[in-house]
Structure 1
Amino acid sequence: MSVISDPVISIIVVGFHHKKGCQVEHCYPELVAGRPMELPTAWRHLPALALPDGSHNYLSDIIFFTLPGLSEPEHTVFGISCFRQIPVEQVVLKTEDMTRSSVQKSVCVICRAPLFGRLAIKLELVVRAWFLQGDFSQTKLLEDAFKHLNNCPIQMDQMLEGLSVQRLIENWRHKALLLFKLLLLRKKVLIYGAPAGSVSAALLSVLSLLPLCVEKGLNRAANVILSRPLSPIFVDNEQTLNNIDTGTEIMESYVNGSEQNDELSQKENENMREEKDRVSRQSFDENVLTDVVDRQELTSGREKCHSIGEKYKSQKPLLDAQQSPTMARDMSVDGLCNLTGQINQAECGFPLSLFQEGYLCLPYLSLQYLDWLADPAVEGFVVGASNVLFKQKRQLFDVLVELNEMRIETSDLTLKRQLVLSTEDLRFADHVVRHGMTQGDGWIRDQFTSYLIYLLRTSLLPGIYILCFP
C-alpha cells in the first residue's frame, strides 16, 4: 500500500472583517515570500471558499473544495476548511476590528492528496483547541499541527474515510443510482443546499462510488484552460488538450442502456424547443424571493421542469416477505460482485477519465465563480453551491440537484430519458438499499464497482444494450 508523505502544503487562517469581508490573516508556511497574509493569484478566492455563504447561520462547519496547483498547473490540490463562530465575550485578547457580537474564523489545510475526511477529523480538534485559547494572535498551535500532520504518513486506502455512502443510500435510496449515472454522462450538474459542508461532503460521497475516482481520478478536477484572463483558475497558454478518452465516450453512449444518438420524434423535438424557450425566458430576480406571492409563482414555474426519479421517492423499507418477487434479489447474487472483485481495476481503465478536458469537479463554489461557469472552455462540471444565485442561473447547468429536498430536476427531455432506471437498474438499487445499511460503506462501493464493470462489459457486446442482473 502506497504511503503519502508530507501531504499538507500550507495551513491558512481566514477571518471575517466587518468592512473588508473575508480575508487571510495568517499563512504557514508563507505562500508569498515576505507576505504572510497574501495568497497567490490562482488562489485569490480561497477566503470566500473557506468562509462560505450563509456560514454565519452556523456555529461550525467543515467545507471541502479544490484548487489548481501552483507548482504544477495540471495538478489539483485539495482544501479542507474548518469554520467556527464564538461570541466575542469568549475572546481573551480582542482587537479593534471585533465590532460584532460574534467572531468568525476558518482554518484551512491545503494538501496534495484528497484526504478530506481523514484530515477533517484532526483539523476539527486543532481548531477547537485554538478557539479555546481565546487569543487568535497565538498561532504556534496551528504551526505545530502543520508539522504533526506532515510527520504522520497516510496510506492511500485512508482517503475515503469520512465519506459516508451509507448515509447517501439511506437518504436518496434508489435515486442514488441516478446521481451515479449523472457523473458518467459528464453533464453540467449543480448540487445545491445548505450548509456548505453538507453539500461538499455529499458530492464527494457520490464520487466515492466510482472506483478509484477520489483516490486517483481528481488530479485535473480543478484545471481548465479558460478564455477569460481574469478567471480564478490558473491559465497556461502553452498547455494543450488531449482527446477525450475513448472509454469515456463508450460510457456516454451506453450508460442509459441504449445509444444516446437515437433520433427523437418530431413531437419530442418540438417539446424540447418549447421547454428550452420557457427556461430561457424565465426570470429569477432576487427581489422575487422576498415576496410571498411572487415566490409562489416562482415555485409553480419551477415545477414545470422535469423532476427525475420522483417515482423512486424515499419510503420506509418493506419487509422481505412484502416485497415484489420480481424485485427481490437473494444475497447469493453477491457472487457476481465477488467475481468482479478479482479483476484488476487498473485493467478496466479505472479511474475513468471523467474529470479532465474541460470537465470539472468542485465540491464547493463561492459566488465569485458564478460567471466563470459560463466560460466556453468549461464543457461540463459537477459543483456544489449554497448561494441561491447559483440556482437562479438555470442556463448555466443541465441538472439541478436539490440536496435538502432530495430532488433532481432537468429541462432536457433527452437527459431525462437517459436517466430512466430500467428493471435491472431497479433490482440492483433495491438490493443495495435493502442491505447497504447492514453491510457498510465498503460493501456498497463494491456493489457499484461491480455494476460499472458489467456496464462497461455490456457496452462492448454488439446488439446488447441492457445491463442484466440475475
Structure 2
Amino acid sequence: MATTTPQFDPIVSIVGFHHARGPEIECWIGVEDEGSLSEWPLLPFMALSDGAHSSSEDFSYFTLKHVLRKPDGTEDRPVSLFGISCTRQLDSSTLIRRPHEVTRSTVQKAVVVIADSPVYFGGLKEKLGMVTRAWFAQRNFEDLDIIRKFQESLKLSLSVGSDQYLGLSLRELVFEFRQQTLVLFKCCLLQPKMLFFGSRCDRLCMTQFSLLSLIPGLLGALEDCADPELNYYEGKLFKPTSVKTSDRKSLLTFMGMPLQIFGKGSLFGPYTPLQQLDILADVGTKSYVVGSTNSLLLQQKDRYSDILINLDELSVNITSSSLRTALYLTAADRRWIDSIVQAVAESWDENDPSRPNTMGFVGSEDYIRLQFEEYALSMVSSVKCHDFLQKYAGSAGKLLPDVEGDPALDFGMDFIDMWKKTENYRIFQKFTDSELFDLVPPKHVMAGGLTMDDVSRRISQQLNELKLDEKMVNGREAVAKTLVAGRGKLGAAFSTLTSNVASLRETQTKKLSNPEPHSPTPSITPSVDSSEAGEKPAEPPQPAKGGYFSAWASWAGEKKRKAFGGTPAQTPSSSPPMKATSNSET
C-alpha cells in the first residue's frame, strides 16, 4: 500500500480540439497561478492522443517536468509529474448550448488530472472515467461544477493511500507475450531505446506500467523519469549497513532495489506525441521507454528504437544485433518463464483476464510479481557471487563450498556483461554490499543442466520464430486455390470429352440402325460385247458390305467341299455372288 503524502496537490485541466488551432488547454481547475504552468506547451498533444477520435473513450498517460517552489515562492528542484486524461466525443447537434466556435459535427474534449505519482492511477482511472461520462451527459460543457468537485476530492483520496498495482494486468502481459515477457524485463535492465506501438492508447500505456512494475519498487521511484536532465534519485541514496529480513522493504533496499533505469540521460513517456521526437533524437537522451499510437514511427524504427514492441501484432523486433545477443534466454531462463506462462494459461479466463479461474494464488497477479521479484534478487546475488569468484579465483572453492560453478552463467554472460555497462548497474554497485549473496542464495530459480525438455522447448520456440504455421497456412491456401482452379479446368475438359464421345456413339448407332447404300464392289470380269451384255438380266441390288463377305465365304466353302468330296453345305439365304464368265465354260 502506498501511503506517501503528495508534495504536489493534484490539479485538473480541460483540453479541447479547436478546428483551426488544434488541441489546446481550455481551462485549469485547482491552479492559483496559471502562469507557472507555461512550461507544458505539449500538454494538449499528450492529453489528446493520435487516433483518440476513432473510439468513444480512451485514456492517455504521460509525464511532465515541473519545477517545485519553496514557501517563499523561489524555485526549488525539478521533479516528474504524471498525467492521465480521459478523452470522449459528442455529437455537436445534441449540445444544449452550442458555442459559436464549434463548427464540426463532433466535439472532442479530454479531462486531465496531474499528480506527483503514478501509483494512484489504478483507482483514479475509474473515477476519472465516471466523472468525464457524467460531464458529457450534461450536454453543456460550460457547466464545470462536477469537475470542480472532482478536483477538490482528489487531494484527500490520493493522500489516504491506494493499491499501487490496481489496474495493472500482468496476467494479460504474460498471456500475450509468453516467453517474450522475460525478454522485455531483461531488456529494461539494459536501458536501450524501447519503443512501444499500439492503436489503443490506454492499452499502450498500461502495458508499459505493467512491465515496469515487475522491477521491485520502481513505480514508487520515478521522480527522474520525465526528462533526461533529471538526476535527483541517486543523490538521496545511501549504502545500508544492516537489514531486517522480516521486513520486505528493508530486504529490497539492502539488495539494491529498485534497479533505477531512469535517471541522467533516460526518459519515460507512456504516450509520446510526435512533437516530442526532438527529445528522443537528442544526443543527451541515451535510453528511454516510450509509447506511440502514430504509425509514422514504424517507418523510422531503426532511428528511434533498439527494440520495437508492436502491441497490435504482439511482436517484438530487436533492431540492435548486440542487444539481440544479450537477450538470448538461457535454458534456465526458459524453464522459469515457461512455468509462469503455463500457470497463467491453465488458469486463463476470457471473461475476467485479471484473475485466475481457479481463484487460487498460482497464476495470479501477486504470484507473477513475486516470481519476478525472486528472479531479480537471485540475479543480482549471482552477479555479486560471480565478481567474488573472479576476485578470489584461487581460493573461491574454500570460501564458498556450497556454490557449484558460476551461478551467473544461468542468466547469460552476454546479458551480464551488457548490464554491467548500464547506469542502473553503476548505481547498484555503488550502494550495495559486495557479499550480499550471503543473504539471498546466488542461484537461478531454475538452475540446472540442459535436459531433453529444454531441447524440445528450444526447437518449438525456433519453429515459432520461423512462423512456419503462418507460412504453412499461406501454402495450404495457395494449394487449395490451385486445386480448385485445376479441378474446374479438369471437370470442363472431362465434360467436353464425355459430350464428344456421346455424340460419336449416337452417330455410329444411327449409322448401324439405318445403313446407307454403298457403292458396289466391281467384279473381276473380262470384257464382253455390248450385245452379250444386253441379253443379261438386270443385276440385283448389292447387299451391305458385311453381308457380301459372309455370302462370298459360304460360296467359296461349298466349292471347296465339292472339289474335295465333302458334304454339300446348305445354301445361304443371301444371294451368291455372280459367276465370272470364262471361255472354258462357254
**Change over 3 Å in CA distance of 1:165–1:140 after alignment to 2:** same
Partner of 2:314: 406
**Change over 3 Å in CA distance of 1:406–1:126 after alignment to 2:** same
In 2, Cα distance between equivalents of 1:65 and 1:422? 35
Describe the superposition over 1:344-375 as per-residue Cα deviations: whole angstroms up to 9, x where unpaired: 11111111121101111111101100122111
1:189 and 2:189 equivalent?
A: no
Matching residue within 409, 413, 421 for 1:466: 409
In 1, Cα distance between equivalents of 2:325 and 2:139? 56
In 2, Cα distance between equivalents of 1:240 and 1:61? 33
TM-score of the superposition, structure 2-length normalised?
0.58
Partner of 2:100: 96
Matching residue within 361, 379, 402 for 1:455: 379
Q: Is residue 156–residue 215 contact of structure 1 (8 Å, CA) maintained in 2?
A: no
In 1, Cα distance between equivalents of 2:182 and 2:238? 23
Task: Return 169-178 or 86-95, whichever deviates more.
Answer: 86-95
Describe the superposition over 1:141-167 as per-residue Cα deviations: whole angstroms up to 9, x where unpaired: 111001112122545561211111111
Q: Is residue 66–residue 222 contact of structure 1 (8 Å, CA) maintained in 2?
A: yes
Matching residue within 429, 435, 440 for 2:343: 435
Partner of 1:149: 154
Partner of 2:20: 19
Q: Is residue 8–residue 109 contact of structure 1 (8 Å, CA) maintained in 2?
A: no
Q: Describe the SS at the equivalent of 2:10.
A: strand
**Change over 3 Å in CA distance of 1:246–1:141 after alignment to 2:** closer
Within-5 A mapping of 1:323-342: none
Q: Is residue 10–residue 154 contact of structure 2 (8 Å, CA) maintained in 1?
A: no
1:67 and 2:64 equivalent?
A: yes
Q: Percent identity?
A: 30
Partner of 1:126: 131
Q: Describe the SS at the equivalent of 2:67.
A: coil
1:29 and 2:44 equivalent?
A: no
Partner of 2:72: none
In 1, Cα distance between equivalents of 2:183 and 2:137? 44
Partner of 2:48: 51
**Change over 3 Å in CA distance of 1:168–1:194 after alignment to 2:** same
Deviation at 1:123, TM superposition (A): 0.6
Q: Is residue 223–residue 233 contact of structure 2 (8 Å, CA) maintained in 1?
A: no
Q: Is residue 64–residue 116 contact of structure 1 (8 Å, CA) maintained in 2?
A: no
Partner of 1:214: 219
Partner of 2:540: none
In 2, Cα distance between equivalents of 1:157 and 1:386? 29
Point out the structure with max Rg over C-alpha. 2
Q: Is residue 49–residue 364 contact of structure 1 (8 Å, CA) maintained in 2?
A: yes
In 1, Cα distance between equivalents of 2:255 and 2:133? 44
Partner of 1:328: none
Deviation at 1:466, TM superposition (A): 2.3
In 2, Cα distance between equivalents of 1:340 and 1:420? 34
1:3 and 2:3 equivalent?
A: yes
Q: Is residue 241–residue 357 contact of structure 1 (8 Å, CA) maintained in 2?
A: no
Within-5 A mapping of 1:382-397: 382-393=289-300, 394-397=302-305
Partner of 2:178: 173
Q: Describe the SS at the equivalent of 1:460.
A: helix
Partner of 1:198: 203
In 2, Cα distance between equivalents of 1:366 and 1:204? 18
Partner of 2:114: 110
Within-5 A mapping of 1:347-386: 347-386=254-293
Q: Describe the SS at the equivalent of 1:184.
A: helix
In 1, Cα distance between equivalents of 2:267 and 2:77? 14
Q: Is residue 192–residue 306 contact of structure 2 (8 Å, CA) maintained in 1?
A: yes
In 1, Cα distance between equivalents of 2:238 and 2:11? 37
Letter in 1 for 2:61: F
Deviation at 1:101, TM superposition (A): 1.4
Describe the superposition over 1:205-227 as per-residue Cα deviations: whole angstroms up to 9, x where unpaired: 111111111122x11001223xx
Partner of 2:464: none
In 1, Cα distance between equivalents of 2:27 and 2:249? 49
RMSD: 2.7
1:41 and 2:38 equivalent?
A: yes
Partner of 1:229: none
Q: Is residue 196–residue 309 contact of structure 2 (8 Å, CA) maintained in 1?
A: yes
Letter in 1 for 2:315: R
In 1, Cα distance between equivalents of 2:161 and 2:257? 15
Deviation at 1:398, TM superposition (A): 1.1
Q: Is residue 84–residue 106 contact of structure 1 (8 Å, CA) maintained in 2?
A: yes
Describe the superposition over 1:59-91 as per-residue Cα deviations: whole angstroms up to 9, x where unpaired: 110111111123154311111100111211332
Unaligned runs of 5+ in 1: 226-234, 248-337
Deviation at 1:386, TM superposition (A): 0.8
Q: Describe the SS at the equivalent of 2:409.
A: coil
Within-5 A mapping of 1:203-242: 203-216=208-221, 218-225=222-229
In 2, Cα distance between equivalents of 1:84 and 1:424? 47
In 1, Cα distance between equivalents of 2:364 and 2:261? 26
Runs of 4+ deviating beyond 6 Å: 239-243, 338-343
Partner of 2:89: 85
Q: How many pairs were matched up?
A: 363
